[in-house]
Structure 1
Amino acid sequence: MLTLDHQLLPINGIQLSLYLAGPEDGPPVWLLHGFPECWQSWRHQIEPLAASGYRVLIPEMRGYGRSSAPEDIEAYDLLTVCSDIQAAMAHFGQSQVCVVGHDWGAPVAWHLALLEPQRVKAVVGMAVPYGGRPRQPATTLMRQLYAERFHYILHFQTPGLAEAEMDADPARTLRMMMHNTSAAVPKDFFLQDKPANAGLFDGLEDPGTHPHWCSDAAFAVYVQTFATQGFRGALNWYRNFERNWQRTEALAERIIEQPALFLLGDLDPVGTLEAYTLRQMPSRVQYLEQHLLKACGHWIQNEQPERVNELLLAFLRRHYPAQAC
């Protein structure tokens, strides 16, 4: 049976909660979760990676679970979150790593590849592509296009607004977000046709149970992740689009030169939202392997874990083999 170690690392001015598995001398693979998730979102990948000889490191990202959740919104900008992982890598003396990210974890993974071209030997993104630094912050365009219609990212911009709705019942929040962005539900959660001042879940019904791809035990971990600190820290990631854009100016001309794998579900609404970025991606990622998983929604590594593991391990064998590191 796989044994997981847990550590609390005092790094980068915060406490980072981190789970570890696999041989201590194995090549490190970092698994970075997204929103509104937790380290448990990688439950199907941990054991296959560890069994293949990799040292698997799964943080609870800043603002989540037992990791620190600073008060300041600016404490959650993208480069600061990247520096959490960089500091943890330095803590373990890691000179070569692979970084894997899903949802918000994907931009962190892509930017770590840009920031650490020598240390990051391979990078994997799931659900959220990389198309280079945009010409303007994404929220600037959203405010132009969605002045009168609802957009979840704009809804998240006002501190306290989404928290009041989401913190009232974390289990309900997670059920709603999981169901309405998975393959089983055709409704497009991210592009709902309702007024700009509507609530996040207005017009949606609580399914009453979590999706089939999330076990009772796993769902309990998700709920516990937000039971104490709520969703404030996680939502603050969304409140830094302008700051992220400003702070990444020095990276604007860089491309990702490492071998890169990108996985997307064909029913993931992010694919629609990021259509332009997807078209730009081959020009910004030099050695790119892409796969579109059929009948798959946003929660790709949970909805189709066997296929994800097959593609991930094959990519690692080619570009970051355990026996050669």
Structure 2
Amino acid sequence: MMMANGGFFMADLTHRDIQANGINIHCVAAGDGPLVILCHGFPESWYSWRHQLPILADAGYRAIALDMRGYGGTSQPEMISSYNLSKIIGDVVSVVNALDEKQAVVVGHDWGGPVAWYSALMRPDIFRAVAVLSVPYNPPMQVPEELILTKMMAENAGEKEYYRSYFQEPGIAELDLEADIRHSMLGFFYSVSGDIVKDRIRSIGWDGHFPKGESMSSLMPIPNELPHWLTQEDLDHYVKAFQSSGFRGGLNWYRNIDSLPGILAPFIGTTINQPALYMYGEHDLIGGNEEISVQSMRTTLPNLTEIIKMEGAGHWLQQERPEEVNEQLLKFLAGL
């Protein structure tokens, strides 16, 4: 029986496989009450919500943390197109239905953020509220037919490589990241955490750019000691998960970026009217947290309750600052 950072026993959590939306979806559950669905990002798993599951359960909620499509114990379809946003939102909707629930609050971090935002946009009948960490909301907008998002990202990077562009060609990032999974995972966690600034490795958070011609993993700084919020046991969990699944499933999410405008086009002019909460870290530049993007949500989300900026924190907010995230999340849920 394994104990996590928050003092709860892993054995107290319920692991379950749900056949939904044509695939197997692995999830971890805690508690009973109103449903809260937790969606992780890249490169993570349900385990990123280990600090939230018991707190939500203790507060009277039914908390369900998913292994998202392509990750952990969830299916990893072969086709790249199987990882487009419509299918992933379909997974979340199908989980709610499979649990015999009518409604849920959807919470997302990193790639789970757009999943949460657009789930709330597309299915307000199911998702009664939305809370997101680290990736601000971008409403659907008109995009010229000839505009290819991945091409635009590469051009905007100029003489540098942008990590989302680096992930596009199948096989390249897989070969790089899977050569030493422990190094890659620790590099990801450290590079965009608040610790990279605290330790004076960088003066500001990393924005995802690096020199062309270099492998991404070779440029990831590795700390001499693990960050205080990441134990050896935590790191071992992630390493074991990606030794089993590899990175291909998660990378395929990035390979569907060009499909986003078409998927979102029917919802141009539609508003998320449900209560919304946004939290982000001071040093998180990887998720698009420029001030103008964050503050624009006060206009685009009419029922945005709060924008919470956590000083000194980076991208992995629910792991770096679990107590603060839990406090804000419970406050938000209590107000619904």
Contact 1:178 1:210 (8 Å CA) reproduced? no
- The match for 1:183 is 194
Give the drift of 1:270: 2.8
Q: Distance in 1 between matches of 2:13 and 2:107?
A: 19
What SS does structure 2 have at the residue aligned with 1:101?
Answer: strand
Normalising by structure 2, report the TM-score. 0.89
Give the drift of 1:148: 2.8
- Please tell me whether residue 215 in structure 1 is matched to residue 215 in structure 2: no
Q: Structure 1's 265 and 141: CA in aligned 2 closer, same or farther, altered over 3 A?
A: same
Q: How far does the alpha carbon of each residue in 1:105-158 deviate from its partner, in whole angstroms, 9 at most, with x for none?
A: 111000110111122111100000112124446424312212431110000111
Give the drift of 1:27: 0.4
Amino acid at match of 1:143: A
Q: 2:269 aligns with which of 253, 256, 263?
A: 253
- Please tell me whether residue 78 in structure 1 is matched to residue 85 in structure 2: yes
Q: 1:12 aligns with which of 21, 29, 38?
A: 21
Q: Structure 1's 275 and 138: CA in aligned 2 closer, same or farther, altered over 3 A?
A: farther
Q: Distance in 1 between matches of 2:64 and 2:233?
A: 21
Q: 1:303 aligns with which of 313, 320, 323?
A: 320
What SS does structure 1 have at the residue aligned with 2:50?
Answer: helix
- Please tell me whether residue 262 in structure 1 is matched to residue 298 in structure 2: no
- The match for 1:54 is 61
Q: How does 1:150-165 map to 2 (within 5 A)?
A: 150-165=161-176
Contact 1:257 1:287 (8 Å CA) reproduced? yes
Number of aligned positions between the proteins:
316
Give the drift of 1:202: 3.7
Q: How does 1:1-325 map to 2 (within 5 A)?
A: 3-23=12-32, 26-136=33-143, 138-186=149-197, 187=202, 188-195=205-212, 197-207=213-223, 210-270=226-286, 274-288=290-304, 289-319=306-336
Q: Distance in 2 between matches of 1:147 and 1:240?
A: 22
What SS does structure 2 have at the residue aligned with 1:269?
Answer: coil
What SS does structure 2 have at the residue aligned with 1:270?
Answer: coil
Q: Structure 1's 191 and 97: CA in aligned 2 closer, same or farther, altered over 3 A?
A: closer
What SS does structure 2 have at the residue aligned with 1:248?
Answer: helix
Contact 2:160 2:211 (8 Å CA) reproduced? yes
Identical positions, percent: 36
Give the drift of 1:66: 0.9
Give the drift of 1:193: 4.6
What SS does structure 1 have at the residue aligned with 2:49?
Answer: helix
Normalising by structure 1, report the TM-score. 0.92
Contact 1:109 1:123 (8 Å CA) reproduced? yes
Q: Structure 1's 209 and 168: CA in aligned 2 closer, same or farther, altered over 3 A?
A: farther
Structure 1, unaligned runs of 5 or more: 320-325
Q: Distance in 2 between matches of 1:162 and 1:55?
A: 36
Give the drift of 1:275: 4.8
Q: Which moved more, 1:211-220 or 1:153-162?
A: 211-220
Structure 1 runs (4+) greater than 6 angstroms displaced: none
